[in-house]
Structure 1
Amino acid sequence: MIRRRGAPALLAVAVMLFAASGAAVAKPSREAGASADKLVVWHYFTTPGQVNALAKMAKLFNAQNPGVKVEFEFKPFAQMTQAVLASAVAKRGPDVIVYQWGDMLKLVDSKAIRSMTPYLRKWPESKFFPASVVHGVRRGEYSQGKGAIYTIQPYVNLIAMYYNKDILDKLAIKPPTTIDQFEAALAKLEANGKGGLLTDAGPGVSGWWNGMPWFFANGVDIRMRDRATIERVLTRLRSWIVKGYIPQDVTSVSTGVDTRSRWAAGDFAFMVNGNWELSTVTKDAKFNWGVVRMPSGPAGSSVYLGGEGVAIGAFTKNPNLAWKFLQATWLGKKGQLVLPTIGSVPARTDLAGNPAITKARGLTPFLKSVPSGKRLPITQAENAAQNLFGDTYSGVLAGQLSPASAADRLVKETPKLLGTG
């Protein structure tokens, strides 16, 4: 899923870890925002690993800016966007925001965040961030990698194919790289009484997040224009359930946690899941396992890129200092190398072969998927289209819709939602 880590119950742990690290934990303030010797960063991280990562970021920044106090101010995830909007109305706010970037247009429209374009133009390392993680506005509309840039995703959350190496080795199956190879592996597993694939195929966002890669591989995007290909892909996926390659009940699953715990029992060969499950799989799986990219088709292999974004607050008193913070931490090479310690995939393409990443078990296939990754839907129309797809995809796999009728629905209704029909 589009992973959100953390829970309010862990906030006390977060506060203790911040205090122990030396980074300041700011109480909610009426006058957020920095001077030349203070920098305020709003975030909603709560897990111990995330909090430790923030403390490491502060140390990286202070190594270059020793006289500046970094204050990390916690805002609950559900309240972050409203808190930023409210601060903009009052014409004050944080220097840096770490937030769910899908709300960027709201913040831009409210003039709550400022463009980073002037800084990015002068920063040679900006070329290492693919367009799919660079978010801006051009002629009043959302623009990927162009226009005035307001947010960058320093890391991404995405899905790939986990495999049980012990099961594959017993049947002399190589980890598949193409959909044809994957289907052949599923057939061999079924013939030998082994479980095939576990995936989240529930309606809505769950079905969209995990289902779209099969369509990307065949050249179909969220616009749903190629009816024949859509029907063909849906027919193939439904056949995997009919043949017993995938259990029917995956259509009632909507969280990666359910899939991961079931797969960790060791009875299934494959699982579609995210990088955020790597540390838990490492702990729970009592068998040899590995990860490969989502199987490719005629159009290659692509997945959606989730994860938080970073932005500079519109009312910071020192935007240059805010940029220096991002440059030294979330976007800089040293800061990026902190991210694998919490299971996140750095967005910088120049780090693909870095030992700090390659030695992290299972992380490399995720990293290799970043350059071809797809941006998340951001407009209301796109969100409606993603839900239509997720509901339809799940309905086909559940046997409630035929591939033909589902293809008709997607081709007919999606353009209306997107305003292209």
Structure 2
Amino acid sequence: MSRNPRSRARVAVGAAATSALLALSACGSSGDEATGGEAGGGDGVVTVWHYFTVDEQVAAMDTMKERFESEHDGVTVENVYVPYDQMNNKLISAAGAQTGPDVVLFNGGEAAALALGGALAPMDEQWGAYEDADQFPDSVLHEIDGSLYAVQGYVNLLGLWYNADILAEVGVEPPTTVDELEDAMAAAAQAGYEGLTASGLPQSQGEWQAYPWLSAEGFDYESPDAAPLEAGLARARDWVEQGWLSQEVTTWDQTVPFQEFTAGGVAFAENGNWQLGAAAADADFEYGVVPMPVGDQGSIYLGGEGQAIGAFADDPDLAWEYLQGTFLDPDAQVQLAQDVGYIPARADAGEDEAVTSDELLAPFAESVASLGATYPAPSIPPEAVADVQTTMGQAWSAALGGQQAPADAAEQALAAIEPALGG
């Protein structure tokens, strides 16, 4: 549990990265804006495109630069800022001109679009020879048409935040199962508190937050079935009817629910590690985090940035060395966790004492290997991802808001997505 402010880095990143994570990544940095063609030139320069603007994230990029340059005499790393909303277009346009960065950090959920757009180089050969490959769960590997195009060295994911003061008052422990969560929400409501905050927007943010609860009932995109989908929607709708979850969540993105949580009148919040700073800055109560209580079937999407080699990198071998020495390195991942609040993707980095001894980072790190799922679901064809996510977000929102019965919302959603999924 925590009440004391955490590092300044966590506060700043929590405030700014929340909006970034709404796109399931982050935005901004320092450096000259990319023009679409500046690469290393094969002269010992590693050009790295990113979209970070938050001071601590920019500082992390500088740290990675200094780390690599100090270990490679004569090599220069150039961090180049590209606005988040321009990254994909600039990468694909550059690839069309057979140029672009040596390394790129991008919204991991966009890996398929960038790979199919010709902007990323396959990494199969490098990964096949990488001695630490077994430290990474499959859920952080982005494979398209049988080839690996990107890896996530760190992730962002959902956890269950709890107000420890409320739980102590009503005499319950942080839940480990959905049934325990419901019992705790009932006790909180009886004491005059709200049970849970979440996002119910009818789009990809809603799908992102719905997925743990739907998958807990056995729903998955590989073999979509109406029964578990209806069960997940019905359970969440029951939370609304019980008064544990506000019907207003249908208009809330992932920022508003956490503001409601830090105001102090809610027992739980389904939200992510990107809220570490917001919690430290705004919560005037003891709080903590536990893994999402979604059982053996449930999964949680692993968001965050993918790291990849540009399709027209001047020196792909040097670009791969950069990735190995920075975002894929265990010590670097631990440092990023401490400095920025990113959750290590590597098993050994997640088990480092600096992470496991941190009462807020540890539950997220524990969830990566046990609950983590690739985002977006690999069984969704790349060209259908946006439509499927929107459809499922609409079903989630309609059920929560009472516009549709859970059975009707599930039936309508499946009818819409099954053709896209090949069903």
> What is the TM-score with the length of structure 2 in the denominator?
0.89
Q: Is the 8 A contact 2:109 2:375 kept in 1?
A: yes
| C-alpha deviation, 1:313, in angstroms | 1.4
The equivalent residue for 1:311 is: 308
In structure 2, which of residues 281, 286, 289 is the aligned counterpart of residue 288 of structure 1? 286
- Once residues 51 and 337 of structure 1 are traced to their aligned partners in structure 2, the CA distance between those partners, rounded to angstroms, is 17
- Once residues 63 and 239 of structure 2 are traced to their aligned partners in structure 1, the CA distance between those partners, rounded to angstroms, is 46
Q: Is the 8 A contact 2:39 2:99 kept in 1?
A: yes
- Once residues 403 and 395 of structure 1 are traced to their aligned partners in structure 2, the CA distance between those partners, rounded to angstroms, is 8
- Once residues 307 and 387 of structure 2 are traced to their aligned partners in structure 1, the CA distance between those partners, rounded to angstroms, is 25
The equivalent residue for 1:326 is: 323
| C-alpha deviation, 1:293, in angstroms | 1.0
Deviations 1:38-59 (A, max 9, x none): 1111111111000110111112
| C-alpha deviation, 1:2, in angstroms | 4.2
Amino acid in structure 1 at the alignment position of 2:221: I
- Once residues 249 and 30 of structure 1 are traced to their aligned partners in structure 2, the CA distance between those partners, rounded to angstroms, is 46
Q: Is the 8 A contact 1:33 1:92 kept in 2?
A: no
- Once residues 106 and 282 of structure 1 are traced to their aligned partners in structure 2, the CA distance between those partners, rounded to angstroms, is 36
Q: Is the 8 A contact 1:302 1:374 kept in 2?
A: yes
Q: Is the 8 A contact 2:201 2:394 kept in 1?
A: yes
Q: Is the 8 A contact 1:32 1:92 kept in 2?
A: yes
SS of corresponding position for 1:40: strand
SS of corresponding position for 1:93: coil
Q: Is the 8 A contact 2:122 2:147 kept in 1?
A: yes
Distance 1:85 1:288, change over 3 A: same
- Once residues 130 and 181 of structure 1 are traced to their aligned partners in structure 2, the CA distance between those partners, rounded to angstroms, is 29
- Once residues 282 and 379 of structure 1 are traced to their aligned partners in structure 2, the CA distance between those partners, rounded to angstroms, is 38
Q: Is the 8 A contact 1:263 1:271 kept in 2?
A: yes
| 1:406 pairs with 2:409 | yes
In structure 1, which of residues 241, 258, 265 is the aligned counterpart of residue 256 of structure 2? 258
| 1:3 pairs with 2:24 | yes
| C-alpha RMSD over aligned residues | 1.9
| 1:247 pairs with 2:254 | no
| C-alpha deviation, 1:215, in angstroms | 1.2
In structure 1, which of residues 395, 417, 421 is the aligned counterpart of residue 420 of structure 2? 417
Distance 1:247 1:110, change over 3 A: closer
SS of corresponding position for 2:388: helix
Distance 1:226 1:87, change over 3 A: closer
| C-alpha deviation, 1:129, in angstroms | 1.0
Q: Is the 8 A contact 1:162 1:271 kept in 2?
A: yes
The equivalent residue for 2:62 is: 55
| C-alpha deviation, 1:243, in angstroms | 1.2
Q: Is the 8 A contact 1:34 1:40 kept in 2?
A: no
- Once residues 329 and 30 of structure 1 are traced to their aligned partners in structure 2, the CA distance between those partners, rounded to angstroms, is 23
- Once residues 109 and 247 of structure 1 are traced to their aligned partners in structure 2, the CA distance between those partners, rounded to angstroms, is 41
| C-alpha deviation, 1:194, in angstroms | 1.7
Q: Is the 8 A contact 1:153 1:309 kept in 2?
A: yes
Which runs of structure 2 are paired with 1:9-408 in the superposition (5 Å)?
A: 14-15=30-31, 28=35, 30-137=37-144, 141=145, 147-223=146-222, 225-254=224-253, 256-297=254-295, 299-340=296-337, 341-371=339-369, 372-377=371-376, 379-408=382-411
Would you identify which runs of 4 or more consecutive aligned residues in structure 1 move more than 4 Å?
Answer: 25-30
| C-alpha deviation, 1:339, in angstroms | 1.8
The equivalent residue for 1:19 is: none
Amino acid in structure 1 at the alignment position of 2:84: F
Amino acid in structure 1 at the alignment position of 2:332: G
| C-alpha deviation, 1:236, in angstroms | 1.9
- Once residues 353 and 386 of structure 1 are traced to their aligned partners in structure 2, the CA distance between those partners, rounded to angstroms, is 33
Distance 1:236 1:108, change over 3 A: closer
- Once residues 208 and 316 of structure 1 are traced to their aligned partners in structure 2, the CA distance between those partners, rounded to angstroms, is 35
Q: Is the 8 A contact 1:34 1:95 kept in 2?
A: no
| C-alpha deviation, 1:212, in angstroms | 1.2
- Once residues 355 and 2 of structure 1 are traced to their aligned partners in structure 2, the CA distance between those partners, rounded to angstroms, is 31
- Once residues 88 and 328 of structure 1 are traced to their aligned partners in structure 2, the CA distance between those partners, rounded to angstroms, is 25
- Once residues 411 and 27 of structure 1 are traced to their aligned partners in structure 2, the CA distance between those partners, rounded to angstroms, is 42
- Once residues 314 and 154 of structure 1 are traced to their aligned partners in structure 2, the CA distance between those partners, rounded to angstroms, is 19
Distance 1:273 1:27, change over 3 A: closer
Q: Is the 8 A contact 2:69 2:75 kept in 1?
A: yes
Percentage of matched positions with identical amino acids: 37
The equivalent residue for 1:144 is: none
Q: Is the 8 A contact 2:309 2:316 kept in 1?
A: yes
SS of corresponding position for 1:326: helix
- Once residues 66 and 381 of structure 1 are traced to their aligned partners in structure 2, the CA distance between those partners, rounded to angstroms, is 45
Distance 1:368 1:183, change over 3 A: same
- Once residues 136 and 249 of structure 2 are traced to their aligned partners in structure 1, the CA distance between those partners, rounded to angstroms, is 35
Q: Is the 8 A contact 2:27 2:83 kept in 1?
A: no
SS of corresponding position for 2:202: coil
SS of corresponding position for 1:114: coil
- Once residues 34 and 234 of structure 2 are traced to their aligned partners in structure 1, the CA distance between those partners, rounded to angstroms, is 55
| C-alpha deviation, 1:388, in angstroms | 0.9
Q: Is the 8 A contact 1:2 1:158 kept in 2?
A: no
| C-alpha deviation, 1:67, in angstroms | 1.5
SS of corresponding position for 2:372: coil
Deviations 1:316-356 (A, max 9, x none): 22111111100000111122122212121111112222122
Distance 1:234 1:92, change over 3 A: closer
SS of corresponding position for 1:92: coil
- Once residues 381 and 93 of structure 1 are traced to their aligned partners in structure 2, the CA distance between those partners, rounded to angstroms, is 27
| C-alpha deviation, 1:180, in angstroms | 0.6
Q: Which moved more, 1:121-130 or 1:356-365?
A: 356-365
Distance 1:301 1:2, change over 3 A: farther
Q: Is the 8 A contact 2:34 2:82 kept in 1?
A: no
| C-alpha deviation, 1:278, in angstroms | 0.9
Deviations 1:98-150 (A, max 9, x none): 1123333343334332121111111111111111111123xxx3xxxxx3211
Gaps of 5+ in 2: 1-21
